[in-house]
Amino acid sequence: MKTFNVPTTYRSPLISAIKQQRKADDKLKKDFSPTRIDLGPIQFFLARHFGFCYGVENAIEIAFRTVEENPGKKIFLLSEMIHNPFVNQDLQALGVRFLMDTHGRQIVPFEEISADDIVLIPAFGTTIAIEKKLRELGIPIEKYDTTCPFVEKVWNRSEQIAAKGYSIVVHGKPTHEETRATFSHSAVNAPTVVVNDMKETIELAEYIKGEKPADQFYFEFAGRFSEGFDIKKDLQRFGVVNQTTMLASDTQAIADYLKKVVMEHHGLNETNISERFADTRDTLCYATNDNQTAVAGMLEQEADLAIVIGGRNSSNTSHLVELCEDVLPTYFIRSEEDILSANELLHANWKTREEAVINGWLPASRPVRILVTSGASCPDSMVEGVLRKIASLVEGSRSL
């Protein structure tokens, strides 16, 4: 796989060495057990896969190279490059300005942009409407487009099945930048609707089966369907794609559930199900899947707690927290700075993003066993920083 030139401050010689050794020992990626780091009174267990993915490294390389190669030019980002506050702060410190926040609210009016300026499209991609607006301003968006190739793969797959007459169901968080972009690119080719979770999927199935009044759909899914969407006919034939950072198991469960509903409602079987339902399993992101599978493998290790590192608004990171919380005490932090002391830690609720200081987070028992992973937009240097900070708080720990 291609290697990228990202700032050395995001790298960690320690973490890189561990990842390279695991890769050499497990070329086929079949071993999802964690890496054990024994420091005596403290033992860390690092997930097999974590940290920067292909799409994130690609975006970071393009962004920092663009700044370096265009001194004196005004450079804008449509919104956050990735969902990591430290990377975004670094870009802002270099003079890059955000045009919108993560919810799509305008910060800098488009009227302030000229054809001489540079506009970077973030890793999540953007909507067709915004692409059109930038082109009208004379901005060459293709030159500075950092959209993740795996997000584009979802768009391409949507276009392919739309050409065969299928509508699209998108599994994603409706307000997330990536879901808004995927919805836009899908809706231009086919009737499209967004579901956030299995609960909403079950509600949608009621309309597919004709068990709920059709008119009610337009209120229940307001803002989630494409213009002209006809609930009576547009879900007679469809496929499911996802926001790439959702839980892969959730997307698969949603697709399997809707497939079963379609089979039962239309009297189909595995031989002829393609008449009504498109197979889109190949759109699941490899990195999301690897990181989530690695967490499952890590959780087989007996431990006292888990630490998950990443941005508060990082979707893929929040799902790693979700997986860990089902098994043992888990703390969602941004960096070593959230570890206030051996007694206090600043933790975020992955659902609400509300922060709270947790007292007594570090058990008194020795050795203390800690599972560690990070999101796809978290630099490895931050993971190393967390390991060193925790080790410094445990008396008698060997140095890393």
Active site residues: 178
Q: Which residues of 347-363 are buried (b: 16+ CB within 10 A; e: fewer)?
A: bbebeeeeeeebeebbe
Nearest residue to 378 via CA among 243, 284, 182, 245: 245
Beta-bridge mates of residue 46: 35, 372
Hey, what's the torsion of the CAs at 57, 60, 66, 71, to 10 degrees?
A: -140
End-to-end CA distance of the chain: 29
Q: What distance separates the 2 farthest-apart alpha carbons in the chain?
A: 68
d(CA 207, CA 169) in angstroms, rounded, equals: 13
C-alpha 121/C-alpha 101 separation (Å) is: 13
Which backbone phi and psi does 251 adopt, to 5 degrees?
Answer: -60, -45
DSSP states of 182-242 as a string? HHHHHHTTS-EEEE-SHHHHHHHHHHHTT-S-HHHHHHHTTTSB-TT--TTTTTSSEEEEE
Q: Report yes or no: 378 and 317 within 8 Å, Cβ to Cβ.
A: yes
The rounded distance, in Å, linking the Cα atoms of 33 and 45 is 9
Spatial separation of the C-alpha atoms in residues 61 and 373, rounded to whole Å: 23
Looking at this protein, which amino acid is placed at residue 9? Answer: T
